Amino acid sequence: MKRNRHIRVVVTACIAGALAMTSAACGKSSTSAGSDGGKELTYWSMYKEGEPAQVALKASIGAFTKQTGIKVHVQWQGRDVLTKLQPTLNRKPAADLFDRNLAPVKSLMVPAGTASDLTDVLSTQIPGENKTIGDVLPDSYRSLGEVNKKLVVLPYNVVATGFWYNAAKFPTLAASPPKTWDDLQKLLDTQKAAGHAPLALDADIPDYNAYWYTSMVVSQLGVNSFHKAAGDKTGATWDQPGYLKAAQQIQKLASGGYFVSGYKASKFPAIQQKWANNKADFVIMGSWLPGEVKTYAAAGFKYASFPIPGNGTTASPVPSTAYGWVIPTKAAHRTAAEKLIAFLYGKAQMQSFADSTSTISARSDTTPSDAVAGAVASMKTNGTYQTDDAVNQDYADWWTKVFEPLDDKLITGNLTATAFIAKLKSQSVDYWKHAL
Amino acid sequence: MTASTVAASTADPAVGSPSESPAGARGHNAAAPRGGRDGNPFRARQRRLYIPFVAPAFVLYLAFLIVPLAGTFWISLHKWPGSGPMQWEGTRNYTYLLHDPVFLHSFRNTLVLLFGAGAATFALSFGLTMLLRDMVGRSTARSIIFFPNIVPALVLSILWGFLFQADGLVNKILGLIGVHHPPAWLAQNHLYSMILLGVVWTSTGFYTTIIMAAVDRIPPYLYEDCALAGANAWQRFRHVTLPLSWDVIGICAVLWTINAIKTFEFVLAMAGSSSGLPTPEVWTVSLYAYASAFASSGVPQYGLAAADSIVTLVLVAVLVFLIRRVMRRDTIEF
Amino acid sequence: MSTINAIRGLRRHRTQRTGPFQRFLGAPLVWLFVAFNVAVLAWLLLSSTKTTRDLIATPWSLPHAIQWDNFARAWSAGNFGPAALNSAVLVAGTAAATIAVAAPAGYALSRLGARSAEGMTSLFAIGLGIPAQAIFLPLYAVMNSLGLVDSLWGLGLLYTATSMPFAVFFLTGFFRSLPAELEEAAALDGATPWYTFWRIMLPLARSGLVTLLLLNVIGHWGETFFALVFIQSQSLQTLPLAMLGFLQQMQYSGADWGGMFAGIAIVVLPIVVLYIWLGRRIIEGMTLGSGK
């Protein structure tokens, strides 16, 4: 570890041009990084020491070194891994391999061409198995790591967004989930009539509010419909009826008292906590939810989810995010990094990672935990699309400054559907007129 | 917990009293250096220490603050995602700010914080100072008042949640005394006020500590005389406390301006989740810069963040200049 | 002015200073404020001994059973041990270096009568207004070219440098308020200027130096932003970084609020203790123009 740090310091010191401002020449020659003998690599992880994911990965990496003799210098960097790595990517990346989800890779690396295409890695054979990575990675997951047909993030595990509930309270729902928004509306009405709060939402988190409108638009109008409207500089797309309809549906939920009381004036995770203690029935959330609330959920809570309902003719695909492997274009030890990926894709490794983290493995032949089994099944039948229709990735500034503030008001009942669409349109036109 | 923002803000208040203390010390110091200027050999030798004494501090300051600041200005004239080539934009980032409703709103929020929360903080600080002046256990009290400044913003934000959310402690207490429909404290339209309340709470401890230090130096007999002359509390404040701690108040006003404009941690912590940003409804100019550079997704807009920082700095400079102008007057000797 | 003179003219004997308002309404208000602050600290500590379930469901109740485990978990999972050591060394070094550099500067600017002193002092004061986020990118370039990224030495140097505006500004004011007589007497006795500074003025300024030291330590103990940008290796991480890492784990490995509050307590307590121990010095430093 110590040696590795030394290497990194030297490497880091050499990227004087990283910030385009310094021209300080770097006199020292990098002694260590030069030749790629395939005998070592540096891996920066998005996990921190002590996390279940880190424990699982550490064990797997240990096994890898034992089997191949390739030494892996690991830094458990945490979620800021790319922010820290970014300054080094143009010259000599400080890591040969790291893991992250698509959004930051797409905005920080793809434009600068610093993320390599991993499509060819799919044909790598998994050690000890008669299969390649591509054989066990379903298309619906693979596409979550692609930008313009280039696989920049090779998915390792997947987060699926859907309606979460307590299966102990709704034992029949798994077999017959609501197929359309009307079905769902009926279910909510029944619950409300029985004196239950049907819905939970921590409305102080704009991204959570956004799940509702974006997934509703996509389920009505199909994948890419929200993305198209968001990028429409004339704003005309918003006038198409489906967008208003989705807003009206939300207005109905907001003004009809379907959300548990206090949802618009609490601080996360207060409402989530209510949901986990059976004081509200359903919540739209990513599949990390069971893991996150387990320390304060009611005893006997059985986590289950059903997908966002469709429009009656087609089932709605599942909003999903992939976390996976990234190799910088200029990585010094690419071969070794690819070997590690292939090793970690082994069934035993993938299964143990999924088991210890309760996440959804990107490998199709692993067995999911009970909590996420339903989500895995719906991704298989309905297909996937990027969470928030990738708008939060591609039009992040518009998303934060124009969409989310209006959406917050809509879902807290402070804006009618018509006013929402009208403002969304006019503010978007204005935004794009001045956009940088 | 972030940054030297805190370092500075935690440290700042102490500036006040010693540097501008109204007490007679000032008279001395003015005389001391000037007296030596003509021909005194000791003074001459002393002055040879000037450069070696000041240079190390100045070099550090220049290299790590002024030079990077110039760099920031340079960045503000470009479009730049944080790595790779910079694209020349001229003043475009600045004109964009003028047209961005979110920036204008953030700017307005900052002014509300600066003047609204500022007025509240100073009123409270003076009130506390006057009350503490004659109290038993004053030194204990003033130590404890300072304490919120040590607590990380994250804790404060969680505390605020438990206190003010829909079924939080405040509403429970209000329910007990018969208020059954309390305002939705943390709803979007009230959230910023709640943030201001938190800022006022932590800052009051700060400025009370400084102002008290100044007020402590006012000889007690002046108050006694006042009381004898039949002056009420307000008159004593108006005619003794205020004029005699005027210099310190001036310093406090400058510090407040700087710290208020730099405020962002508590706002950020109110966002609740580790990676997300709070709603733009509650952004300040500092948060705007932070959001432009560090949003969890999207291409970082360092040029815009830099432009915002430069605007912020200009705002600080103008306000500090104005405060100094307004507050300037003759020192009262007593 | 005239008011004061008029009042001064009326000067008589000592009288009761507190009015009924202050005694019956004011003092309770102050103590309420004080009690609130104490309650917050107590709440923080109590919360750190509760289970996550209790903490979120009943934030105001006493713990059912004290969860010392929270501290053990925060300490080990967050890797707090080495981080605490790094922080202690870094913060102590920074405070010492800051004083070593700023004290001569403050002295020179306030008492040597140089023509540029006034402008120089203002220049330092302006630096107070520069936010860290405004300069970190160019700063990265500077640090990088000096080979100071990912090094505690580098971070310490950076902390020292960014402390300069306040430290110099503060000490300039402080030295200025010291009495001139002793310095003059020393000059008459034939003391060298260095001796005068080192043996006379510096000890006089002791309470100001301690105040600065304490404020500097408080400020850097919790510093996250620069540490996040400039430290990459885990072995070098400071306490706030360890804390941040610990927080980041919560979304996937289960919300651990008990552990989080324990972690916060671990970060905050040393400062509270230091503050209680030296706190009076702050007030003294602020109050006194002349040290003892």
The pLDDT tens digits of the residues spanning A217-262 come to 999 999 999 999 999 999 999 999 999 999 999 999 999 999 999 9
pLDDT at position C144 is 82
B54-67: pLDDT as tens digits: 999 999 999 999 99
Q: Which of residues 56-115 of C touch B (CB under 8 A)?
A: 59-60, 101-102, 104-105, 107-114
Close Cβ partners of B277 (under 8 Å, ≥ 6 residues apart): A206, A400, B268, B271, B287, B291, B295, B296
| CATH number for the domain that contains residue C169 | 1.10.3720.10
CA gap A424, A402 in Å, rounded: 7
The DSSP letter of residue A125 is B
- Report the chain C residue with the minimal C-alpha distance to residue A296: C53
pLDDT at position B194 is 93
pLDDT at position A410 is 97
Average pLDDT for residues A308-330, to the nearest whole number?
94
The residues facing A199 across adjacent strands are A259, A282
Most confident of A99-108, B102-111, C227-236: B102-111
A362-387: pLDDT as tens digits: 999 999 999 999 999 999 999 999 99
Residue B291, chain C, CB below 8 Å: the answer is no
**Gap from C147 CA to chain A (nearest CA, Å):** 5
Residues of B in contact with C1 (CB under 8 A): 243, 332
Task: Please indicate, yes or no, whether residues C176 and C282 belong to a single structural domain of this protein.
Answer: yes
How many alpha carbons lie under 13 Å from residue A108 in its C-beta half-sphere?
Answer: 29
Average pLDDT for residues C118-127, to the nearest whole number?
82
Q: pLDDT band at residue A56, thresholds of 50, 70 and 90?
A: very high
What residue has token string 């002056």? B231
- Boundary-marking domain end, from C7, C40, C69: C69
Closest in B159, B231, B310 to C40, CB measured: B159
pLDDT at position B28 is 40
Residue A20 one-letter amino acid: A
CA gap B146, A152 in Å, rounded: 51
Q: pLDDT band at residue A18, thresholds of 50, 70 and 90?
A: very low
Residues of B in contact with A397 (CB under 8 A): 295, 298, 301
> Encoding tokens for residue C57?
């469901």
Q: Are A78 and A84 in contact (CB under 8 A)?
A: no
Strands A303-306 and A154-166: antiparallel
Residue A124 one-letter amino acid: T
Q: Are B16 and B248 in contact (CB under 8 A)?
A: yes
What residue has token string 């070194």? A65
**Gap from C117 CA to chain B (nearest CA, Å):** 9
> Encoding tokens for residue C109?
């600017």
What residue has token string 């400039």? C230
Average pLDDT for residues A308-335, to the nearest whole number?
94
Residue C6 included in any domain: no
Q: pLDDT band at residue C276, thresholds of 50, 70 and 90?
A: confident
Tell whether ipTM is more than 0.95.
no
The residue segments making up the domain with residue C48 are: 17-69
B141-150: pLDDT as tens digits: 888 888 888 7
pLDDT at position B10 is 34
CA gap A160, A277 in Å, rounded: 22
Residue C164 included in any domain: yes
Q: Which chains does chain C touch, 3 or more C-beta pairs < 8 A?
A: A, B
Closest CA relative to residue C205, chosen from C284, C276, C279: C284
What percent of chain A has a predicted confidence (pLDDT) above 70? 92
Residue C190 included in any domain: yes
Q: pLDDT band at residue A282, thresholds of 50, 70 and 90?
A: very high
Q: Are A44 and A98 in contact (CB under 8 A)?
A: yes
pLDDT at position A5 is 33
Close Cβ partners of B114 (under 8 Å, ≥ 6 residues apart): B256, B257, B260, B261, B319
Average pLDDT for residues B298-320, to the nearest whole number?
88
> Encoding tokens for residue C148?
């100071």
Task: Please indicate, yes or no, whether residues C155 and C277 belong to a single structural domain of this protein.
Answer: yes
Question: ω before A319 within 30° of 0 (cis)?
Answer: no
Strands A40-45 and A71-76: parallel
Q: pLDDT band at residue C21, thresholds of 50, 70 and 90?
A: low
Residue C230 one-letter amino acid: F
pLDDT at position B34 is 43
> Encoding tokens for residue B66?
């002024």
B113-126: pLDDT as tens digits: 999 999 999 999 98
- Give helix A241-255 / helix A404-411 axis angle, nearest 10°: 50
Residue A14 one-letter amino acid: C
- Give helix B138-146 / helix C27-47 axis angle, nearest 10°: 50
- Checking if the pLDDT of A20 tops 50, the result is no
Residues of A in contact with C137 (CB under 8 A): 19
CA distances from B191 to A260, A399, B164, B289 (A): 20, 21, 10, 20
- Checking if the pLDDT of A26 tops 60, the result is no
pLDDT at position A45 is 95
Residue A352 one-letter amino acid: S
Residue C2 included in any domain: no
Residues of C in contact with A205 (CB under 8 A): none
Q: Which of residues 84-123 of A touch B (CB under 8 A)?
A: 86-87, 89-90, 103-104, 107-108, 111-112
Residue C27 included in any domain: yes
Residue C256 included in any domain: yes
Residues of A in contact with B298 (CB under 8 A): 107, 392-393, 395-397, 399-400
Closest CA relative to residue A210, chosen from A415, A384, A387: A387
Average pLDDT for residues B13-24, to the nearest whole number?
36
CA gap C261, B268 in Å, rounded: 19
Task: Please indicate, yes or no, whether residues C138 and C93 belong to a single structural domain of this protein.
Answer: yes
Task: Please indicate, yes or no, whether residues C260 and C176 belong to a single structural domain of this protein.
Answer: yes
Residue C9 included in any domain: no
Closest CA relative to residue B313, chosen from B242, B262, B251, B238: B262
pLDDT at position C107 is 92
- Checking if the pLDDT of B267 tops 90, the result is no
Residues of C in contact with B159 (CB under 8 A): 40, 43
Domain ranges of chain B: 3-37+98-327
pLDDT at position A331 is 95
Helix (H) or strand (E) holding A99: strand A97-101
CA gap A407, A213 in Å, rounded: 8
Give how many domains chain C has, as a whole number. Answer: 2
**Gap from C222 CA to chain B (nearest CA, Å):** 5
- Checking if the pLDDT of C4 tops 90, the result is no
How many alpha carbons lie under 13 Å from residue A55 in its C-beta half-sphere?
Answer: 11
The reply to whether residue A261 touches residue B166, judged by beta carbons under 8 angstroms, is yes
- Report the chain C residue with the minimal C-alpha distance to residue A272: C56
The DSSP letter of residue C63 is P
**Gap from C252 CA to chain B (nearest CA, Å):** 12
Tell me which of C180 and B256 has the higher pLDDT. Answer: B256
Task: Please indicate, yes or no, whether residues C136 and C265 belong to a single structural domain of this protein.
Answer: yes
Task: Please indicate, yes or no, whether residues C125 and C242 belong to a single structural domain of this protein.
Answer: yes
The residues facing A157 across adjacent strands are A323, A361
3-state secondary structure chain A: CHHHHHHHHHHHHHCHHHHCCCCCCCCCCCCCCCCCCCCEEEEEECCCCCCHHHHHHHHHHHHHHHHHCCEEEEEECCCCHHHHHHHHCCCCCCCCEEEEEHHHHHHHCCCCCCECCCHHHHHCECCCCCCEHHHHCCHHHHHHHEECCEECCEEEEEEEEEEEEECCCCCCCCCCCCCEHHHHHHHHHHHHHCCCCCECCCCCCHHHHHHHHHHHHHHHHCCCHHHHHHCCCCCHHHHCHHHHHHHHHHHHHHHCCCECCCCCCCCCCHHHHHHHCCCCCEEEEECCHHHHHCCCCCCCCCEEEECCCECCCCCCCEEEEEEEEECECCCCCHHHHHHHHHHHCCHHHHHHHHHHHCCEECCCCCCCCHHHHHHHHHHHHHCEEEHHHHHHHHCHHHHHHHHHHHHHHHHCCCCCHHHHHHHHHHHHHHHHHHCC
pLDDT at position B255 is 80
pLDDT at position B106 is 95
> Encoding tokens for residue B209?
């500590």
pLDDT at position A125 is 95
- Checking if the pLDDT of B273 tops 70, the result is no
B181-198: pLDDT as tens digits: 888 899 888 899 999 999
The CATH code of the domain at B3-37+98-327 is 1.10.3720.10
Helix (H) or strand (E) holding A83: helix A81-85
Size of interface A-B (CB pairs under 8 A): 143
CA gap C100, B56 in Å, rounded: 10
Task: Please indicate, yes or no, whether residues C88 and C232 belong to a single structural domain of this protein.
Answer: yes
- Checking if the pLDDT of A343 tops 80, the result is yes
pLDDT at position B330 is 55
CA gap C288, C279 in Å, rounded: 14
Closest CA relative to residue B128, chosen from B30, B246, B36, B212: B212
Task: Please indicate, yes or no, whether residues C59 and C85 belong to a single structural domain of this protein.
Answer: no
Tell me which of B89 and B23 has the higher pLDDT. Answer: B89
Produce one character per residue of B139-163: b if its CB has 16 or more CB atoms within 10 Å, e if not: eebbbbbbbbbbbbbbbbbbbbbbb
The reply to whether residue C135 touches residue B289, judged by beta carbons under 8 angstroms, is no
- Checking if the pLDDT of B14 tops 80, the result is no
- DSSP, collapsed to helix, strand or coil, labels residue B233 as helix
Domains of chain A in start order, with CATH, are: 2-158+321-386 (3.40.190.10), 161-320+389-434 (3.40.190.10)
Average pLDDT for residues B71-90, to the nearest whole number?
89
The reply to whether residue A49 touches residue C53, judged by beta carbons under 8 angstroms, is no
The reply to whether residue A15 touches residue C144, judged by beta carbons under 8 angstroms, is yes
- Report the chain B residue with the minimal C-alpha distance to residue A15: B83
Task: Please indicate, yes or no, whether residues C134 and C262 belong to a single structural domain of this protein.
Answer: yes
Size of interface B-C (CB pairs under 8 A): 383
- Checking if the pLDDT of C15 tops 60, the result is no
Residue B81, chain C, CB below 8 Å: the answer is no
The reply to whether residue C104 touches residue B57, judged by beta carbons under 8 angstroms, is yes
Model-level pTM?
Answer: 0.85
Q: Are B15 and C173 in contact (CB under 8 A)?
A: yes
Query: Residue A101 phi/psi, 5° resolution?
Result: -95, 175
Task: Please indicate, yes or no, whether residues C27 and C151 belong to a single structural domain of this protein.
Answer: no
Residue B222, chain C, CB below 8 Å: the answer is yes
The reply to whether residue A296 touches residue C57, judged by beta carbons under 8 angstroms, is yes
Q: Are C167 and B56 in contact (CB under 8 A)?
A: no
Produce one character per residue of A242-259: b if its CB has 16 or more CB atoms within 10 Å, e if not: bbbbbbbbbbebbeeebb
Q: Which of residues 178-217 of A touch B (CB under 8 A)?
A: 202, 204-207
Least confident of A13-17, A149-153, C236-240: A13-17
Closest CA relative to residue A52, chosen from A285, A292, A268, A269: A292
- Checking if the pLDDT of C16 tops 90, the result is no
Strands A40-45 and A97-101: parallel
**Gap from C241 CA to chain B (nearest CA, Å):** 10
Tell me which of A9 and A121 has the higher pLDDT. Answer: A121
Tell me which of A401 and C130 has the higher pLDDT. Answer: A401
- Checking if the pLDDT of A16 tops 80, the result is no
CA distances from A317 to A199, A306, C283 (A): 21, 12, 64
Helix (H) or strand (E) holding A361: strand A360-361
pLDDT at position A188 is 97
Find the chain A residues whose C-beta atoms sit closer than 8 A to any C-beta of C.
1-2, 5, 8-9, 12-13, 15-16, 18-19, 21-22, 24, 47-53, 75-80, 84, 87, 94, 269-270, 273, 277, 288, 291-296, 357, 359
C40-78: pLDDT as tens digits: 989 999 999 999 888 888 888 888 888 888 898 888 877
pLDDT at position B196 is 94
- Boundary-marking domain end, from C52, C69, C86: C69
Helix, strand, coil % (nearest 5) of chain C? 75, 0, 25
The reply to whether residue C144 touches residue A16, judged by beta carbons under 8 angstroms, is yes
Task: Please indicate, yes or no, whether residues C146 and C52 belong to a single structural domain of this protein.
Answer: no
- Boundary-marking domain end, from C25, C43, C69: C69
CA gap C19, A353 in Å, rounded: 71
> Encoding tokens for residue B332?
């009262």
The per-residue pLDDT of chain C, averaged, comes to: 81
The reply to whether residue C220 touches residue B205, judged by beta carbons under 8 angstroms, is no
Average pLDDT for residues B18-24, to the nearest whole number?
37
